[in-house]
Amino acid sequence: MKKLLKFVENLLKKLKVLKCTKSITFDLESKINLLLIRDTFTENSTIGELFLNGERMCDTLENPYINNERNISCIPEGQYKVRLRTARESATRDYLHLLVQDVPNRDYILFHRGNTAKDTSGCILVGLGSQQDFVQNSTLAMDLLMKEIINLEETKINLIIKNP
């Protein structure tokens, strides 16, 4: 219960900074809540921060928003279910990663390694450190994120994506 309270407190602090006008509803049944707050938008990419149960985990990089078009756009802000996806399930990823489910008109939206928008094809890249159109230390960020999720021993993962 203390972790949940800390998560909510950290979230409220972050949302005050964003001056968020839309309400956020977390799945309190889920032990794993991911919050992606997008904060930098360029012609080539979207940069954000990813929080795991209220604790900042890493930076993110996505394509810019282009009407949710397959392979060239980030996905719309909203709430999504996420699941672990093994290397065995993937033809292109030889490591444990995350699959975002039920994205309207899209499929195979992943959290995975990469550094620039050229590496993403509509997915979400993670990194430790960012600058314009770039995240760094992606492999380390992905490994740390997966370690933390596995340590929570839960398969039900909730993702909320917010734009300011």
Q: Tell me the per-residue pLDDT of 4-54, one tens digit each, with 9 for 90 and over.
A: 445 445 544 554 444 444 444 444 555 899 999 999 999 999 999 999 999
Q: What tens digit of pLDDT does each residue of 75-123 get?
A: 999 999 999 988 888 767 778 899 999 999 999 999 999 999 999 999 9
Share in percent of the chain as helix, strand, coil (round to 5): 25, 35, 45
121: nearest Cα among 92, 150, 83, 146: 92
